[in-house]
Structure 1
């Protein structure tokens, strides 16, 4: 049983809690998530099962898309609605001011991670230190906001969609925009709508997953593990190479490809042979000839 389940994580449960739910219902130990989603947030959380856990790392760096709500006028210690209000101010901004403020946060920006986060300082998580009343200096990190669209502005609330890079804290984005507007702001709603190719419209609820498990239909909800590797082009080998390549060997690229591919030294590919996904291969040079060497066999 190997593959990826596109889970619709409910609010009030951690990402590790979702992993535990899948382990229990599938009766499997080898289960892992592809990057944490805040307990108070809902949405897409791809879960890797069996050998697919070997590709979970490749989803960590993928773009993610969220729908969020910014509430202006208050600052909380956690930067979201779960925290304690630590500052308040009047909201005296026009719709045009909000639009201009949002414009400043598109593209490559620097963001300081919040104290209430799972980042570690000397082996201890920042949120643990924050709960002790401690504040640690954090260096701003470069992130990318690929897309930032305001959907609705009503009173002191702004509903928006954001597509961002790994390491982005949407609640910190809300906090920063609030301060840019000369007031305060916190994230009052967060739903993750997309992780790479995994979309919320196709995500499965806990009830749907449990029902599939009880009726022995897990294979029907498992997605192929190569969906996590779309950043690599596909390369196909002739059938006679199956034994070598499936055992982690190397094959010459001369007259062995079914499809014509452009490649350079150290390029990585999704490798297929005999209509099966083999794993990740890398282009290497041996004695002045290009070869495909398996970097990770996933059979």
Structure 2
């Protein structure tokens, strides 16, 4: 079995938990995932099966989320899973102020990841260091926010904002919640998070683990084809004899008007894998079929 599974990750499961469950259900050793989700987040978790694990590195990086930010609260993890640092009602906070504070969160911004995150500092995961009580300086990183849209606003002692965010890879929505609360001087934390799009897959087309079990029992489960999430890459079709040489690892001289990573096909066998066109040479980088 090979291809992709668009999994709707359940709450309180790690991405590793999901991979282990899928591996057991499908009785398949080669299973991997794209774009780690925190246990408290739900939504799209692309799962690669069989040879598709070799294609994970080529999936598109953009992601989209719907998030709920709660104001008046700060936690150790920047979400409701952590210990409360401060809790101060802010019933006078209004949406107009939030909109003004949200304005800088557009385009390329600098962001300090949460101290409880999988980022490595000196070869050690930040969450491991944080759990041991070790204090480290978390380096800033540049991330990109493409679009934000306010979905709902709920007043109260601890007001909540529902927001849709489209962003680039590496963006921490928990950090946005924390930083927005800091700008408003109320404190803020992430109360809920759903990933609606990731690596070319959408929430509307996803399967829960229960859906997967049901389809397996009914023998109706089908993976996404290998190149389904690679539509952002250019395509190159080779004649059959040339394609065979490429699949055997040979570099193919080609003069084209583009360079870089490309999907490679032939007329008979279909999708063959990923190549890199450089200096008028097509180099095999990931051969899937041949």
Q: 5+ residue gaps in structure 1?
A: 255-260
Cα RMSD after superposing both structures: 1.7
| Residue number in structure 2 paired with 1:276 | 270
Deviates more, 1:84-93 or 1:6-15: 84-93
* 1:242–1:10 CA distance, 2 compared to 1 (3 A): same
* 1:132–1:283 CA distance, 2 compared to 1 (3 A): closer
Q: CA deviation at 1:90?
A: 3.8
Paired residues in the alignment total 284
| Residue number in structure 2 paired with 1:75 | 74
Indicate the SS of the match to 2:181: helix
Within a 5 Å distance, the mapping from 1:39-118 to structure 2 comes to: 39-59=39-59, 62-91=61-90, 92-118=92-118
Q: 1:167 & 1:253 partners in 2: Cα distance? A: 35
Q: 1:75 & 1:157 partners in 2: Cα distance? A: 13
Contact 2:200/2:230 (<8 A) preserved: no
Contact 1:55/1:228 (<8 A) preserved: no
Contact 2:201/2:229 (<8 A) preserved: no
Deviates more, 1:14-23 or 1:61-70: 61-70
Indicate the SS of the match to 1:271: strand
Q: 2:110 & 2:146 partners in 1: Cα distance? A: 14
Moved over 4 A (4+): none
Contact 1:3/1:51 (<8 A) preserved: yes
Q: 2:3 & 2:276 partners in 1: Cα distance? A: 22
| Residue number in structure 2 paired with 1:167 | 170
Q: CA deviation at 1:5?
A: 0.3
Contact 1:11/1:42 (<8 A) preserved: yes
Contact 1:245/1:251 (<8 A) preserved: yes
Q: 1:263 & 1:176 partners in 2: Cα distance? A: 41
Q: 1:284 & 1:171 partners in 2: Cα distance? A: 39
Pairing 1:293–2:283 present: yes
Q: CA deviation at 1:216?
A: 3.4
Q: CA deviation at 1:160?
A: 0.2
Within a 5 Å distance, the mapping from 1:1-299 to structure 2 comes to: 1-59=1-59, 62-91=61-90, 92-155=92-155, 156-218=159-221, 220=222, 222-253=223-254, 262-264=257-259, 267-273=260-266, 274-285=268-279, 290-299=280-289
Q: CA deviation at 1:165?
A: 1.3
TM-score, normalised to structure 1, is 0.90
Residue deviations 1:134-155 (CA, integer Å, cap 9, x gap): 3211111100011111111111
Q: CA deviation at 1:275?
A: 4.6
* 1:142–1:237 CA distance, 2 compared to 1 (3 A): same
Contact 1:56/1:228 (<8 A) preserved: no
Q: 1:177 & 1:122 partners in 2: Cα distance? A: 29
Q: 5+ residue gaps in structure 2?
A: none
